Amino acid sequence: MTLGGDDWLLGLMSGTSMDGIDAALIKSDGSRVLEQGPRITLPYDASQRALLESVMGNTADCQEVETALTHWHHQAVSSLLEQAGLKASDVSLIGFHGQTTFHDPKKAVTRQIGDGALLAKLCGIAVVNDFRSADVAAGGEGAPLAPLYHRALAKDLEKPLMVLNIGGVSNITFLGQDETVLACDTGPGNGLLDDWMMKHFDMPMDEGGKVAASGTLDPLVLAGLLDHGYFSEAPPKSLDRYDFSPELVQALNPMDGATTLTAFTAAAVAKVLPFLPERPNRCLVTGGGRRNPFMMDLLTRELDMPVEPVEVVGWDGDALEAQAFAFLARRSQLGLPLSLPTTTRVAAPCKGGVLHLAS
Ligand SMILES: Nc1ncnc2c1ncn2[C@@H]1O[C@H](COP(=O)(O)OP(=O)(O)OP(=O)(O)O)[C@@H](O)[C@H]1O
Ligand SMILES: CC(=O)N[C@H]1[C@@H]2OC[C@@H](O2)[C@@H](O)[C@@H]1O[C@H](C)C(=O)O
């Protein structure tokens, strides 16, 4: 295993949207991002998604699902290596996030399923997994963990800026002119909206934000949704995908519900602005939500700053989270911290991850 940064690292992310597995290759010495390589997404079909949904909110043993999930990740690794024209021996480390099934840092519990030892054996590549437990055990939120990767990527960009990830849940990283890194989950991402779309339109998402764009915002319902204690808590703070309930939206018609839920995501991001040490000069958006122009317009209005997809600075918004866990795997291997007091509220910079050798 080399540590120099000229070797490939492979990151795997199965996010809270449960739309599939993102797999991406990078080269990194644990501080800098030296190269961004190919990436793929292996979408989940309805039965895979249903299997994952069956263990959501669960802390009990679910070995069958965990084993299945690990085999799907092996498929993602094989497909990515094939596409990249690489062999297993070309990759020194896999960062395997797994699937979060439960997250309640206040009770010091976070759970990502995924069998690291099995994946290492199947792939013939060393694997780091269980990235969040050490932080939670040390009193941190265990999330978000992408901020140190955002900092590395944005090394040469003008600050202050804000990186916003809109996945199932939304999270931001604020990067200040004085090297400050402040992070938190802001509120829902696409999760509530995806569930609404499935319930009312039998569609997995509001593609292009078309449905939401054709409805009418209900300001009273939006105000009710925003009347939640989470928004008055200072960062760092984190969420479980199911911490917000769509209860208040139920009375709305399907189109107005989609509009109001999209507005909720955007307005929730704006609620973090008063807690930032300075006003960011731009917001770079990663994750699936950046493909929703209606959501991007609402964000621009709410944040009152340029809101652009991360592609404008040459990053890949479909690969970023998977890349982050490749980067964090390298940091874990080097014994570098994965989180800081300002990213997860942990008392001191915290190392993490568990290494599984290939043999
Ligand atoms: N073309 C599109 N139009 C609208 N929404 C989209 C589009 N493409 C993706 N999305 C939204 O993005 C979601 C997937 O986002 P992403 O892959 O970033 O989530 P994730 O990695 O599961 O989440 P998390 O960051 O919470 O771990 C989809 O479920 C959908 O709601
Ligand atoms: C517990 C957990 O899995 N949290 C995820 C989730 O998805 C988005 C947001 O909530 C973020 O806190 C985190 O993922 C990203 C990759 C992170 O750790 O930075």
* Nearest atom of ligand 2 to the alpha carbon of 142: 1
Q: Which residues line ligand 2 (CB under 6 A)?
A: 15-16, 100, 103, 110, 143-146, 165, 167-169, 171, 185, 238, 321
Band (pLDDT 50/70/90 cuts) for residue 256 is very high
Same domain, 169 and 300: yes
> What's the whole-model pTM score?
0.97
Q: How far is the CA of 210 from the centre of ligand 1 (A)?
A: 15
For residue 347, is it within any domain? no
Out of 159-173, 208-222, 237-251, least confident range: 237-251
* Nearest atom of ligand 2 to the alpha carbon of 147: 19
Out of 58-67, 206-215, 287-296, least confident range: 58-67
For residue 329, is it within any domain? no
Kindly tell me if the per-residue pLDDT of 227 is higher than 80.
Answer: yes
Domain of residue 25 covers: 8-138+352-356
Same domain, 33 and 126: yes
Band (pLDDT 50/70/90 cuts) for residue 220 is very high
Kindly tell me if the per-residue pLDDT of 75 is higher than 70.
Answer: yes
Same domain, 95 and 239: no
pLDDT-above-70 percentage for the chain: 99
Same domain, 187 and 307: yes
Same domain, 17 and 133: yes
* Nearest atom of ligand 1 to the alpha carbon of 189: 26
Q: What's the burial of 225, exposed, middle or buried (CB within 10 Å: 0-12/13-18/19+)?
A: buried
For residue 333, is it within any domain? no
Q: What's the burial of 159, exposed, middle or buried (CB within 10 Å: 0-12/13-18/19+)?
A: middle
pLDDT recorded at residue 173: 98
Same domain, 190 and 118: no
How far is the C-alpha of 260 from the C-alpha of 226, rounded, in Å?
Answer: 11
Kindly tell me if the per-residue pLDDT of 165 is higher than 70.
Answer: yes
Q: How far is the CA of 19 from the centre of ligand 1 (A)?
A: 7
Give strand ranges (E) for 141-259: 161-166, 169-175, 181-188
For residue 318, is it within any domain? no
CATH number of the domain residue 262 falls in: 3.30.420.40
Q: Which two tokens stand for residue 168?
A: 């199932």
Mean per-residue pLDDT, 178-182:
95
Kindly tell me if the per-residue pLDDT of 61 is higher than 90.
Answer: no
How far is the C-alpha of 302 from the C-alpha of 283, rounded, in Å?
Answer: 12
Same domain, 109 and 60: yes
Q: Answer yes or no: is the C-beta of 207 below 6 A from any ligand 1 atom.
A: yes
pLDDT recorded at residue 73: 98
Q: Which two tokens stand for residue 228?
A: 């939640």
Q: Answer yes or no: is the C-beta of 97 below 6 A from any ligand 1 atom.
A: no
Q: How far is the CA of 83 from the centre of ligand 2 (A)?
A: 27
Kindly tell me if the per-residue pLDDT of 163 is higher than 80.
Answer: yes
pLDDT recorded at residue 3: 63
Same domain, 170 and 294: yes
Band (pLDDT 50/70/90 cuts) for residue 284 is very high
Contact 6, 27 (CB under 8 A): yes
Band (pLDDT 50/70/90 cuts) for residue 274 is very high
Q: Average pLDDT of the chain?
A: 97
Q: How far is the CA of 220 from the centre of ligand 2 (A)?
A: 29
The tens digit of pLDDT for each residue in 95-111 reads 999 999 999 999 999 99
Same domain, 306 and 245: yes
Residue nearest atom 15 in ligand 1 by C-alpha distance: 288
Contact 95, 329 (CB under 8 A): yes
Q: Which long-range contacts (CB under 8 A, 24 or more apart) does 105-109 make?
A: 105/136, 105/140, 105/141, 105/142, 105/143, 105/238, 108/136, 108/137, 108/139, 109/59, 109/136
Mean per-residue pLDDT, 326-333:
98
Mean per-residue pLDDT, 330-351:
98
Kindly tell me if the per-residue pLDDT of 1 is higher than 70.
Answer: no
The tens digit of pLDDT for each residue in 119-156 reads 999 999 999 999 999 999 999 999 999 999 999 999 99
Kindly tell me if the per-residue pLDDT of 2 is higher than 80.
Answer: no
Residue nearest atom 13 in ligand 1 by C-alpha distance: 288
161 DSSP β-pair partners: 175
| Among 44, 39, 49, CA closest to 11 | 39
Residues making up the binding site: 15-22
Residue 211: CB atoms within 10 Å: 23
For residue 331, is it within any domain? no
pLDDT recorded at residue 4: 67
Q: Which ligand lies nearest the alpha carbon of 211?
A: 1
Residues making up the binding site for ATP: 15-22
Q: Which of 163, 165, 172 to mutate to test the pocket of ligand 2 (most atoms within 8 A of CB)?
A: 165
For residue 296, is it within any domain? yes
Kindly tell me if the per-residue pLDDT of 289 is higher than 80.
Answer: yes
Q: Which ligand lies nearest the alpha carbon of 237?
A: 2
For residue 292, is it within any domain? yes
Q: How far is the CA of 100 from the centre of ligand 2 (A)?
A: 8
* Nearest atom of ligand 2 to the alpha carbon of 189: 8
Same domain, 44 and 17: yes
Q: Answer yes or no: is the C-beta of 16 below 6 A from any ligand 1 atom.
A: yes
SS3 for 215?
Answer: coil
Whats the size of the chain, residue-wise?
359
The complex scores an ipTM of 0.98
Same domain, 124 and 159: no
Same domain, 120 and 220: no
For residue 324, is it within any domain? no
- If one counts the domains in the chain, the total is 2
